[in-house]
Chain A
Amino acid sequence: MARTRVYVPRETAAISVGADDIAIAIARHAKRSGDNIELIRNGSWGATWLEPLVEVTVDDKRIAYGNIEADDVPELFTAGFLAGGEHAKRIGPTIDIPYLINQDRWTFWRCGLIDPLSIDDFRAHHGFKALEKALDNGAQTVIDAVKDSGLRGRGGAGFPTGIKWQTVADVQSDQKYIACNADEGDSGTFSDRILMEGDPLGLIESMAIAGFAVGADRGYIYLRSEYPLTHRVLSRAIEVARDNNWLGDDIQGSGFNFDIELHLGAGSYVCGEETAMLESLEGKPGIVRYKPPLPAFEGLFGQPTVVNNVVTLASIANIVNIGSEKYASYGVDRSKGTLAFQLAGNIKRGGLVEKEFGITLREVIEDWGGGTASGRPVKAVQVGGPLGAYLPEEQLDTPLTYEAFIEIGAMLGHGGIVVFDDTADMAQQARFAMEFCAIESCGKCTPCRIGSTRGAEVIDKIVAGENRDENLELLVELCNTMEDASLCAMGGMTPYPVRSVLQHFTEDLPAARSTGT
């Protein structure tokens, strides 16, 4: 009899709520009961609220059981879960879970589906087909497809990827690099992590395509050190790819050489900024560089370098495989394709939602997220990480596009959506924005380094009711100076969350004293 396949994710969120213990319990129990199982440690589908999500394959269909605890395992066996048996925690076929089927899975489609470290499973799901196609079609064809797709950088700045690649391809140099930005520093974001843990070979393939397209034979991945499991999975995936000649010299006899070195960050938020990341990759303090020169001309070790976010890169394989027209048919305006939204904070159904641009923030929060975890009203939503504005309830109908967000003084950034209920103290959140900037500033610009510390002090005074009006004025001035005189978005955009609190959440600031004399 064929072995029954049981899937238990090896993914940070799932493990953080007990997946490893469940895997051990299932293996033990199966041994004792004589059940012949194949235990696969897949990535996560991204329906994080259901983690740990355990699946069994029954008649070629995967049946899901959600929010499993190690203590449930004996009961699951008794219920016959290996045959898809009924149980209070049985959800049904994975492919029928509305949270998943209503997405547009372009970049994350293999996450959860495959064994991330099995080259056979990867190959069976179109793995390395795009690289083979790219090698056949030639570099310029690939770059043209990326341009036509309308893909823009998913790391935050939204720069058109095809133009960046063309620039690096056109520069003459003996050495060029691909630097994958996996620093994922924004609070409320974990899409890079889910991709790297669930489909690391997919990222490796797309990096190799990038290398081929621009003429680079070396790639770097700069991974935040807060992701130790991701580090283990990626390291192993790089070895697997090398062992099978999908990295290294003369890849599959094509004459193309490409290899990847994996580096760890060291707890600095600013090192996600591309030039600070390059400094860190060179073994130096992560201090932001002046631009120009752009990294495309003088990047890592002074050589032309493509810097792209994990999700940007991982979107490429299907652009090559399926085609740029299909990708560009998703989305609206100049926001083409899909974005991996990440629902976090006080939300009932947190997780990853890959969806075309254009749906509204409310749709994501309500239809996918199911509202707050606490059941209380939504008070504020921070989109785009710590430098993103806090949006009040009235702005929840804003469509999720780069353009619509710029219009309301906000940004999509890396797609993080952090929900707060009505117990949140927004003055405290504004203060935290300043405090975080003070902690993380690279120190190069005075307004960022000193202004942020001042900003936190001034907010304390405002909250204490000390010279409220003068201090509010001072805070606005500080914000303006930081925005105008900072080299990068750390100092330059910290004012966004602060101003949004002043604008939309005045009820959390002490009331103006009636000037009765």
Chain B
Amino acid sequence: MTAMAYDKQAASEIIARFDARGEMLVQILHAFIERFAWISEDAIRQLADELNLSRAEVHGVVSYYHDFRTTPPGKRIVKICQAEACQAMGSRELSAHAEKSLGIAMNASDADNTLEPVYCLGNCACSPAVMIDGKTFGRVSPQRFDDIVASSGDAN
């Protein structure tokens, strides 16, 4: 991910792109994540102000959805599918391998990587499936996992 530091001006522009419509909050938060990689308290305050919502309302939405992380992620975001079709093809073993290989636990981050579970990438006929920085990979053996990690993202 090539995230930018939080920037009020840029945030305002994103909100304006959605005509500052409160019902677009989920969509606006996606645009924030794309731009800033995570949702900060500053972001929540500004969203509440500019969308005419209470901070509690914005907070409620941010905390409800798995996609809206509130801490900075690593440079590379690795998601491993933990749902049934992938379980049937060894996603549990793959996850254990990933934790070892990246040196972080599931649901944890370091400067280089964030490792997260995901529940179905719709790639269940090519399981186990992995997503790295928004790109989906299928038929991922532990060996292939190391290869695709090595060839993606900013981290090395």
Q: Mark A34-55, 1 if CB is under 8 A from B, else 0.
A: 0000000000000011010000
The distance from the CB of B44 to the nearest CB of chain A, in whole angstroms, is 14
Known contacts A226-B118, A226-B122, A280-B26; is-contact A15 B84 (Cβ 8 Å): no
Q: Mark A59-75, 1 if CB is under 8 A from B, else 0.
A: 00000000000000000
- A347–B120 touching, CB < 8 Å: no
- B22–A16 touching, CB < 8 Å: no
Name the contact of B88 in the complex, choosing from A285, A342, A346 (C-beta under 8 A).
A346
The distance from the CB of B53 to the nearest CB of chain A, in whole angstroms, is 9
- B84–A193 touching, CB < 8 Å: no
- B60–A226 touching, CB < 8 Å: no
Name the contact of B119 in the complex, choosing from A185, A228, A286 (C-beta under 8 A).
A185
- B127–A344 touching, CB < 8 Å: yes
Known contacts A263-B26, A373-B89; is-contact A345 B124 (Cβ 8 Å): yes
The distance from the CB of B129 to the nearest CB of chain A, in whole angstroms, is 7
A225 at the binding interface (Cβ < 8 Å): yes
In the complex, residue of chain A having the shortest beta-carbon distance to the beta carbon of B134: A228
A424 at the binding interface (Cβ < 8 Å): yes
Name the contact of B65 in the complex, choosing from A16, A268, A386, A432 (C-beta under 8 A).
A268
- CA of A16 to CA of B61, assembled, Å: 31
B149 at the binding interface (Cβ < 8 Å): no
Name the contact of B64 in the complex, choosing from A186, A189, A286, A382 (C-beta under 8 A).
A286
User: Of A85-93, A139-147, A159-167, A413-421, which stretch is located at the interface?
Assistant: A413-421
Q: Mark A461-492, 1 if CB is under 8 A from B, else 0.
A: 00000000000000000000000000000000
B136 at the binding interface (Cβ < 8 Å): yes
- Across the A-B interface, how many residue pairs have beta carbons closer than 8 Å? 153
List residues of chain B with CB within 8 A of the CB of A124: none
Known contacts A185-B120, A266-B67; is-contact A347 B87 (Cβ 8 Å): no
- CA of A269 to CA of B61, assembled, Å: 15
- B88–A12 touching, CB < 8 Å: no
Name the contact of A186 in the complex, choosing from B120, B121, B136 (C-beta under 8 A).
B120
Known contacts A187-B83, A285-B61; is-contact A16 B129 (Cβ 8 Å): yes
List residues of chain B with CB within 8 A of the CB of A287: 64
- B60–A285 touching, CB < 8 Å: yes
9 new A-B contacts, CB < 8 A, other than A225-B67, A226-B120, A283-B26, are A13-B123, A16-B139, A51-B126, A188-B83, A284-B61, A344-B124, A418-B124, A419-B88, A420-B88
A190 at the binding interface (Cβ < 8 Å): yes
B30 at the binding interface (Cβ < 8 Å): yes
Most-contacted residue by chain A among B65, B122, B124 (CB, 10 A) = B122
A267 at the binding interface (Cβ < 8 Å): yes
Number of residues on chain B facing chain A (CB within 8 A): 40
List residues of chain B with CB within 8 A of the CB of A286: 64-65
- A190–B23 touching, CB < 8 Å: no
Name the contact of A189 in the complex, choosing from B26, B66, B122, B139 (C-beta under 8 A).
B122
- A345–B123 touching, CB < 8 Å: no
- A13–B138 touching, CB < 8 Å: yes
Most-contacted residue by chain B among A15, A192, A266 (CB, 10 A) = A266
List residues of chain B with CB within 8 A of the CB of A439: 119
Tell me what chain B mostly uses at the interface: helix, strand, loop, or mixed: mixed
- A12–B64 touching, CB < 8 Å: no
The distance from the CB of B102 to the nearest CB of chain A, in whole angstroms, is 20
The distance from the CB of B39 to the nearest CB of chain A, in whole angstroms, is 11
Residues B113-154 near A (CB distance < 8 A): 118-127, 129, 131, 134, 136-139
Known contacts A190-B125, A226-B131; is-contact A346 B89 (Cβ 8 Å): yes
A30 at the binding interface (Cβ < 8 Å): no
Number of residues on chain A facing chain B (CB within 8 A): 63
Name the contact of A227 in the complex, choosing from B23, B67, B89, B122 (C-beta under 8 A).
B122
- B67–A343 touching, CB < 8 Å: no
The distance from the CB of A430 to the nearest CB of chain B, in whole angstroms, is 12
- CA of A187 to CA of B138, assembled, Å: 15
A405 at the binding interface (Cβ < 8 Å): no
In the complex, residue of chain A having the shortest beta-carbon distance to the beta carbon of B23: A283
- CA of A268 to CA of B139, assembled, Å: 25
B43 at the binding interface (Cβ < 8 Å): no
Residues B83-112 near A (CB distance < 8 A): 83-89
Name the contact of B136 in the complex, choosing from A224, A229, A263 (C-beta under 8 A).
A229
List residues of chain A with CB within 8 A of the CB of B68: 266
Known contacts A189-B122, A268-B66, A386-B83; is-contact A282 B88 (Cβ 8 Å): no
Name the contact of A281 in the complex, choosing from B23, B88, B138 (C-beta under 8 A).
B23
List residues of chain A with CB within 8 A of the CB of B88: 344-346, 418-421, 424
A24 at the binding interface (Cβ < 8 Å): no
Q: Mark B9-47, 1 if CB is under 8 A from A, else 0.
A: 000000000000111111101100000000000000000
A264 at the binding interface (Cβ < 8 Å): yes
Residues A385-417 near B (CB distance < 8 A): 386, 416
